[in-house]
Amino acid sequence: MDFIFIMEQMPRLLPGLMLTIQLSLIGFLIATILGVPFGIIRAYQISPYLSFSIDFYVFVVRGTPILVQIYAAYFLLPLAGIKLSPFWIGIVALSFNSAGYQIEITRAAIQSIEKGQYEGAFSLGLGKIRTLISIVFPQAFLRMLPPMANEMSNLIKASSVLSVITVFELHKAANAIISDSFKFLEMLFAQAVLYVAFVVLMTQFSIYLEKRIGTKLQIKNFSQR
């Protein structure tokens, strides 16, 4: 394996890596803004019709490949009169996909909170919304972090499929170098290293948040006793 060639080509890969980071972070943020509230609605079963709609959306997301969702966004959005660049079409597809999984993560985390937490909050005179904000969600959020980190990792890897709609992310940049040099193994190795480095960074950040928030919750609980 030609490691010198890999180092020489890194400047050509970095713009693709930066675009991958942008796609992943923006897509994850939008998916969180959509997924967490819908997950809360689904957990509390506020409306049977709304719950059915959310369940159907989650079923579609989990039952179809990300590639199909990307093509659907690429071809259907223009038909609906929505003209976006390939970058933003990629954001739409990634957000649509990740939000479906985040709904389930949020729902499962909230429903895992013991009923005694609700009973204790109600006995103190707290309403449902105040109980959710002050008691339930902080604990659920701590339980959401590991699967959310895993979802972020999946989103980073899924962004490589956006090369099919000409988004010049990391995988597309590596393919361009392969077309010029025929150095397939070297570029495969370089991609793997960069993807793993990004995933490890996000995972370590999640672990840091989990410890930090967990410590704050312990201090808060101790001070209330």
Domains, the chain, ordered by start: 3-224 (1.10.3720.10)
Burial class of residue 204, CB neighbours in 10 A (0-12, 13-18, 19+): exposed
Q: Return the structure tokens found at 31.
A: 């998916």
- Contact indicator for 206, 149 with CB cutoff of 8 Å: yes
Reported pTM = 0.87
pLDDT band at 222 (very low <50, low <70, confident <90, very high): very low
Report percent pLDDT > 90 for the chain: 39
pLDDT tops 80 at residue 161: yes
- How far is it, in rounded angstroms, from Cα 213 to Cα 17? 30
As a whole number, the mean pLDDT across the chain is: 87
162-209 residue pLDDT tens = 988 888 888 888 888 888 888 888 888 999 999 998 888 888 888 887
- Rounded to 10 deg, the angle between the 48-63 and 86-111 helix axes is 120
Asked whether residue 156 carries a pLDDT value surpassing 70, the answer given is: yes
Stretch 2-29: mean pLDDT: 89
Residue 50 has pLDDT above 80, yes or no: yes
Among residues 33, 71, 79, 25, the alpha carbon closest in space to that of 166 is found at: 71
Q: What is the pLDDT of residues 107-141, one digit of tens each?
A: 999 999 888 888 788 887 888 888 888 888 888 88
DSSP tag of 64: S
Tell which residue, 124, 125, 120, has the closest CA to residue 139. Answer: 120
Q: What is the pLDDT of residue 134?
A: 83
CA 149 to CA 205: how far, in whole Å? Answer: 9
Under the banding of pLDDT at 50, 70 and 90, the label for residue 12 is: confident
- Tell me the mean pLDDT in the region 81-96: 93
Inter-residue contact 61 to 69 (CB < 8 Å): yes
Of the ranges 24-28, 44-48, 106-110, which one carries the lowest mean pLDDT score?
Answer: 44-48
